[in-house]
Chain A
Amino acid sequence: MRRSIRRQLVLWLAIPLGILWLISTVTGYSQALKFAEETYDRELVNSSDSVAARLKVKDDKVVVDLPPAAQAILRHNNTDKFYYKVLKANGEMISGDTVLPSPHAEYLDEATPRFTTTTIGGEQIRLVQIKLLIPVADAEPVIIEVAETMNSRKRLSMNIFMTMIVPQLLMVILGATAVWIGVSRGLEPLQFLQKAIASRSRLDLTPVQEDIAPEEVYPLVVSLNDLLARLREDIKAQQRFIANAAHQLRTPLAGLKAYSSLGLDLKNLEETHGVMEQIDSGLDRTTHMVNQLLALARNDPASMTTTERSVVELNGLVADVIADRISIAVKKKIDVGYQPAQELANVSGDGTSLQQLVSNLIDNALLYTPDGGCVNVIVAQDNGSIKLSVADTGPGIPVEERDKVFERFYRLVGSTGGGSGLGLSIVKEVAKNHKATVKIEHGENNQGTSVSVMFPAT
């Protein structure tokens, strides 16, 4: 069964309440019994005094002068039987009911009544024994015993018990019910919230009404709204991305289609060859775009769960990337300088992603640097943190654009290179996944662009 706040609260209140009720009932009942017993016992002592008052000394002998009328008064009781007995200290019977037992008669103190609960013929009785000194010369002390059955006492205790337990039990039940109702009413805002959310359409990501939430639920509603807001942002970004991706994929396709349809009408072999070359380079470009999109998807934090981390040596990785692009540099007469770190530049991360980061930085530099320019790549190590910087002598990125160029598909106005608009987004995502920071500055002599990636010490 699912945990229920209502059940939990009621239990938390009902269990201690029940225990309290039990304790108060037990102590109250025993206290009441004690008072009842004391009262009845006092009456029993009174009865024994009445018997004692009837003791007389006759011819040096103790006798009990208890006529039947007096006995009737003593015995008069609707519910309980009355017994009495007078005997000598040695146990010799003087007068009274012989059925009455005489327990520990020999240990009695003078003038201190001793109470015993015992039975006569299977019936419980309360017995009081008193030892009396007779103020007559050499008369032996006598023991007076008075007893009664315990029906009245039992009835009284039952009455006390009932008058105590019933209202208290009612109180407990009432308390639990009040708590149950109170909790239910207290939880109503939660149900309202639940209904408000359940009745939403899948696409409705507007915030939940915050003002109806009570203090305790308010943080929950606020967090929920936060989550919804983030979700809205994500979905918007996703939609923007899809729209942009559609544009970025369809445009090169449109170019390809334009060239291929143009080629269909050409009769001249030389012209056809020119168009074929265009189609060929267009296909390379489309392939690059698709690869960039895949690289971006691969480095998206949402899909990063499966990539393994290993130690990647950046000096070697950068050297490999540059070596792959030497022909481009030669074609554009770009002077590529590379200065690796003195020691091994180990970065913990994903090799493929880091390779994409380095490739994109160097590709950008080569793409935007005009013929005859310079590209400088430096890997430096400082206390375990590693800095990779790629500087070029291209047109540079204006200060106010430096944040925007990391946005997906963002391209500077007037940039005509065949870039996908994703390169720096990929760099940023990879850097983020490696806890690295990316910074764009001017290149040397305030010219061109320098992009540096700072990997923290591991």
Chain B
Amino acid sequence: MRILVAEDDEYLQSALKMGLQKAGYAVDAVWSGTEATIALREVAYDLLVLDLGLPGRDGTEVLSILRREGQTLPVIIITARDSVDDKIVGLDLGANDYITKPFDIRELDARIRAVVRKNVWGNKLEITHGPLRFSPKSREVFVNDKHSDLTPREVAVLEVLLQKVGRLVNKRTLVEQVSNWDEEPSDNAIEIVIHKVRKKLEPFGIRIRTVRGFGYMLE
């Protein structure tokens, strides 16, 4: 899960980044609306956290450009404007949710999970794959009804594979899903994560196959 945060306030931006990374997301951040539009064209994000009061290009503009270009990724608006009209405008432009400053980071996390659950999992509360059970609601993984000890990052990788069970997931896609601009995206890092996930899940008969030169597949 890779998220773009568009927020011009350095302080809030760093708080959001820290909070979302702790929750296991790969997070990139931009300061302005112009940068946001460019980033959204370059990287396939799974979600956009968008501040409306952005310099350069207003958040509503970023949103309308995004939707005009046919991008369907979910958008959660964060804003200091709290009038009903502002909310209506934001939602009408194609935002999926709306949260008013100041907010609890755990609430934002919950809203992100809810939006992703709906968008990726079609509101399913649970996804099962053999002895594996994944809860999009809490982003927890259970094996034989027992809570697994996967780290948020490992859950993020598994989540991508779970979305395409039996199909090949490109290695680059996986790299993009779990890395951000602050770190050099490396195939190596993904290989390490995959290795750890295998080690924790293979005893239960869950296999992740490597397709050399292409990527991975959850069998």
Binding partners A and B: yes
Q: Are B104 and A261 in contact (CB under 8 A)?
A: yes
Binary contact track A314-341/B, C-beta < 8 Å → 1, others 0: 0000000000000000000000000000
Q: Are A255 and B104 in contact (CB under 8 A)?
A: no
A247-B53, A261-B106, A413-B32 as given contacts; A255 in contact with B19, CB under 8 Å = no
Q: What separation, in Å, do the CA atoms of A246 and B105 have in the docked complex? A: 20
Q: Are A246 and B80 in contact (CB under 8 A)?
A: yes
Contact of A253 among B14, B34, B56, B102 (CB under 8 A): B102
For B81, what are the chain A residues with a Cβ–Cβ distance below 8 Å? 243, 246-247
Which residues between 46 and 103 of chain B lie within 8 Å of chain A, taking CB atoms?
53, 55-56, 78, 80-82, 100-103
Q: Does A257 contact B (CB under 8 A)?
A: yes
Closest to B19 in A: A262
A250-B80, A262-B19, A416-B10 as given contacts; A257 in contact with B31, CB under 8 Å = no
For A257, what are the chain B residues with a Cβ–Cβ distance below 8 Å? 101-105
Q: What separation, in Å, do the CA atoms of A259 and B101 have in the docked complex? A: 13
Q: Does B165 contact A (CB under 8 A)?
A: no
Closest to B54 in A: A413
Q: What separation, in Å, do the CA atoms of A264 and B53 have in the docked complex? A: 28
Q: What separation, in Å, do the CA atoms of A208 and B202 have in the docked complex? A: 81
Which residues between 250 and 281 of chain A lie within 8 Å of chain B, taking CB atoms?
250-259, 261-262, 264-265, 275, 278, 281
Least distance between A246 CB and chain B CB atoms (Å):
5
Least distance between A411 CB and chain B CB atoms (Å):
6
Q: Are B15 and A255 in contact (CB under 8 A)?
A: yes
For B34, what are the chain A residues with a Cβ–Cβ distance below 8 Å? 413
A247-B53, A251-B9 as given contacts; A414 in contact with B102, CB under 8 Å = no
Q: Are B31 and A414 in contact (CB under 8 A)?
A: yes
Q: What separation, in Å, do the CA atoms of A251 and B82 have in the docked complex? A: 13
For B53, what are the chain A residues with a Cβ–Cβ distance below 8 Å? 247, 251
Q: Does B181 contact A (CB under 8 A)?
A: no
Closest to A415 in B: B55
For B22, what are the chain A residues with a Cβ–Cβ distance below 8 Å? 262, 265
Least distance between B82 CB and chain A CB atoms (Å):
8
Q: Are B32 and A255 in contact (CB under 8 A)?
A: no
Q: Does A448 contact B (CB under 8 A)?
A: no
Q: Are B103 and A252 in contact (CB under 8 A)?
A: no
Q: Does B189 contact A (CB under 8 A)?
A: no
Which residues between 386 and 413 of chain A lie within 8 Å of chain B, taking CB atoms?
411-413
Q: Are B11 and A255 in contact (CB under 8 A)?
A: yes
Q: What separation, in Å, do the CA atoms of A456 and B15 have in the docked complex? A: 47
Q: Are B15 and A262 in contact (CB under 8 A)?
A: yes
Least distance between A61 CB and chain B CB atoms (Å):
131
Closest to B18 in A: A262
Closest to B86 in A: A243
For B15, what are the chain A residues with a Cβ–Cβ distance below 8 Å? 255, 258-259, 262, 278
Contact of B103 among A247, A258, A282, A411 (CB under 8 A): A258
Q: Are A250 and B106 in contact (CB under 8 A)?
A: no
Contact of A250 among B14, B18, B101, B104 (CB under 8 A): B101
For A247, what are the chain B residues with a Cβ–Cβ distance below 8 Å? 53, 80-81
Q: Are A252 and B11 in contact (CB under 8 A)?
A: yes
Least distance between A177 CB and chain B CB atoms (Å):
60
Q: What separation, in Å, do the CA atoms of A257 and B81 have in the docked complex? A: 17
For A416, what are the chain B residues with a Cβ–Cβ distance below 8 Å? 10, 31
Which residues between 157 and 208 of chain B lie within 8 Å of chain A, taking CB atoms?
none
Closest to B78 in A: A254
For B105, what are the chain A residues with a Cβ–Cβ distance below 8 Å? 257-259, 261-262
Least distance between B84 CB and chain A CB atoms (Å):
15
Binary contact track B104-131/A, C-beta < 8 Å → 1, others 0: 1111100000000000000000000000
For A418, what are the chain B residues with a Cβ–Cβ distance below 8 Å? 10-11
A262-B105, A278-B15 as given contacts; A414 in contact with B32, CB under 8 Å = yes
Q: What separation, in Å, do the CA atoms of A400 and B108 have in the docked complex? A: 39
Contact of B102 among A243, A256, A281, A412 (CB under 8 A): A256
For B56, what are the chain A residues with a Cβ–Cβ distance below 8 Å? 413-414
Q: Are A282 and B10 in contact (CB under 8 A)?
A: no
Least distance between A430 CB and chain B CB atoms (Å):
26
Q: Does A88 contact B (CB under 8 A)?
A: no
Q: Are B16 and A258 in contact (CB under 8 A)?
A: yes
Least distance between A420 CB and chain B CB atoms (Å):
11
Which of A246, A253, A254 has its CB near the most chain B CB atoms (within 10 A)? A254
Q: Does A285 contact B (CB under 8 A)?
A: yes
For A261, what are the chain B residues with a Cβ–Cβ distance below 8 Å? 19, 104-107
Contact of B106 among A251, A265, A275 (CB under 8 A): A265
Contact of B101 among A243, A254, A413 (CB under 8 A): A254
For A251, what are the chain B residues with a Cβ–Cβ distance below 8 Å? 9, 11-12, 53, 80, 101
Closest to B10 in A: A416
Which residues between 1 and 57 of chain B lie within 8 Å of chain A, taking CB atoms?
9-12, 14-16, 18-19, 22, 31-32, 34, 53, 55-56
Sample (5) of A-B pairs whose CB atoms are under 8 Å apart? A250-B102, A251-B9, A257-B101, A257-B104, A285-B11
